[in-house]
Amino acid sequence: MSEASASHAADRRELTAAQRNAVAELLRVSPVADELGRLFLAAGHELHLVGGSVRDALLGRLGEDLDFCTDAHPDQTLRIIRGWAESVWETGREFGTIGCQRDGLRLEITTFRAEAYDQVSRNPIVEYGTSLEEDLKRRDFTINAMAVSVPDHRFTDPHGGLADLAAKIIRTPGTPEQSFRDDPLRMLRAARFTAQLRFAVHPDVRDAMARMAADLDRITAERIRDEFTKLLCGADPITGLRLLVDAGLAERFLPELTGLKLTIDEHAQHKDVYEHTLTVVENAMSMEEDGCDFVLRMAALMHDVGKPATKAVGPDGRVSFHHHEVVGARLTKARMKAMRYPKDVTSQVVALVALHLRFYGYGRGEWTDSAVRRYVADAGDLLPRLHKLTRSDCTTRNRRKAAALAADYDALEERIARIAAEEDLARVRPDLDGNAIMELLGVPPGPVVGKAWQYLKELRLERGPLDRDEAEAELLRWAREQGIRD
């Protein structure tokens, strides 16, 4: 058998296996899907399982969210499903989508679309289509342009999506230029699918992304944020991140990542800080316990973004990046704000970036118990993530150095555990509360109480727990120095 024939036979076997997976997955949901299909058929309409649902069924990973398309308009769809669906929502009605739930499955039913885009924003000019083929042609990628009709289970694949699925290729139904011109967000979706599915982007698609990267500026920050979050939480975000940088897409919404390619690592252990950063992301992923930890991954991605602005070369030729964690935290906060991330998520990532260097120096024996308390107090609830980020940041190829750093951090964690057991470090608070402070100093609620509380907290961090008499004596001494008491 020739090499070409062998390759064709292997592809055919993969397609057959994919079809078997699809049948097994569709049988799982067919009682609901077929029942719904019969309702549409009785009303004189078509219904097709479509897009990502068919793709995921073929991959053997169909979830509880199913997408359908139909020739019925939204009002007609509502009439068909009322009384059958357990709940109905119309939030996507302006785009022709009606949602409902039945037997634990969430179903979205969208009228055939033949939409165009204004090519200024990504907002579609919604026009209802008249055929399944027309609807599939407008979709983003061939692997999302397949359909299974219900209830008869007829398979429709006009653009070779099944073959592309077997070959693990991301390709557009028409020309990529037209597809991305219609909706530039599709360029980011292509990168996202490389991360989620571990697929490769077709060379024509990659070339179009590089030429049209600036069109991403037409997309809202929120839509970009959502796609980027899915990419970073994918099974292989490194491939997706590389594609973003190589195609020039990252420069449009995350230029700090591209900027890392310009900064050579001071340890000369990596091609540049960019490569080091990708390794840190991989390391952080290996420490996750329950699926994607976006905060940890984002902190790993951003932890060194302050290096380009702080780069300096000393008399000995060595490169340094003093206080890059401070600059990096500021840049991270600004970038995540621009991408419209929630404040609580942003504050957690920023805190990790700011703290990621704090550990270095511990191995020299310079840390007192006070320093350990401050480390724990400053990290707060982020301490487990800070442990993981700090360990992930060790990417040296020097085995002896790597082992020494790991041993130092093991020792720090053991020391934290010991002090925590003795002093309840999870809740480092002053030894006197606000009421006790007001009673002892004879002051009403106000700024003085806050200053006294902060002083006692600093004292607690410095010296550990004090008994009641010691705490009161220290507070009175501080009050006299401040002129609050005689």
Q: What's residue 322's pLDDT? A: 79
Burial class of residue 312 in the structure, from the number of CB atoms within 10 Å of its CB (0-12 exposed, 13-18 middle, 19+ buried): exposed
Q: What's residue 9's pLDDT? A: 47
Cα torsion at 133, 137, 141, 142 (round to 10°)?
40
- Please indicate whether the domains covering 3-167 and 172-253 agree at the CATH topology level: no
Whether residue 427 is predicted with pLDDT greater than 70 in this model: the reply is no
Q: What's residue 418's pLDDT? A: 80
Q: What is the architecture of the domain spanning 172-253?
A: Orthogonal Bundle (1.10)
Q: Rounded mean pLDDT of 228-237?
A: 97
Q: What is the architecture of the domain spanning 3-167?
A: 2-Layer Sandwich (3.30)
32 vs 286: CA distance, rounded Å: 38
Annotate 391-430 with b (16+ C-beta within 10 A) or e (fewer).
bbbbbbeeeeeeeebeebbeebeeebeebbeebebeebeb
Give the model confidence (pLDDT) of 86-141 as tens digits.
999 999 998 899 999 999 999 999 999 875 555 555 555 667 888 999 999 999 99
Q: What's residue 290's pLDDT? A: 87
Q: What's residue 172's pLDDT? A: 97
Give 270's pLDDT tier (boundaries 50, 70, 90): very low
396 vs 373: CA distance, rounded Å: 28
Q: Rounded mean pLDDT of 294-301?
A: 98
280 vs 66: CA distance, rounded Å: 36
Give the model confidence (pLDDT) of 71-81 as tens digits.
999 999 999 99
Q: What's residue 458's pLDDT? A: 75
Give the model confidence (pLDDT) of 360-412 as tens digits.
766 566 677 778 887 888 888 999 999 999 999 988 777 887 787 788 888 88
Lowest average pLDDT, out of 30-34, 189-193, 275-279, 403-407, goes to 403-407
Whether residue 309 is predicted with pLDDT greater than 70 in this model: the reply is yes
Whether residue 165 is predicted with pLDDT greater than 70 in this model: the reply is yes
Q: Rounded mean pLDDT of 216-237?
A: 96
Rg (CA), the chain: 29
pTM given for the model: 0.80
Please tell me which residue, 309 or 258, carries the higher pLDDT value. 258
Q: What's residue 454's pLDDT? A: 78
Q: Are 53 and 109 in contact (CB under 8 A)?
A: no
Question: What amino acid is encoded at 124 in this protein?
Answer: P
Please tell me which residue, 316 or 173, carries the higher pLDDT value. 173
Q: What's residue 269's pLDDT? A: 43
Give 19's pLDDT tier (boundaries 50, 70, 90): low
Q: Where are the domains of the chain?
A: 3-167, 172-253, 283-426, 429-481
User: Percent of the chain, pLDDT > 70?
Assistant: 85
Give 336's pLDDT tier (boundaries 50, 70, 90): very high
288 vs 235: CA distance, rounded Å: 12
Q: What's residue 11's pLDDT? A: 45
Q: Are 132 and 156 in contact (CB under 8 A)?
A: yes
Lowest average pLDDT, out of 210-219, 231-240, 355-364, goes to 355-364
Whether residue 267 is predicted with pLDDT greater than 50 in this model: the reply is yes
Give the model confidence (pLDDT) of 434-483 as tens digits.
778 777 777 888 888 788 777 777 777 777 777 777 777 777 788 888 87
Q: Rounded mean pLDDT of 210-232?
A: 96
- Average pLDDT, rounded, for the chain: 85
User: Percent of the chain, pLDDT > 90?
Assistant: 55
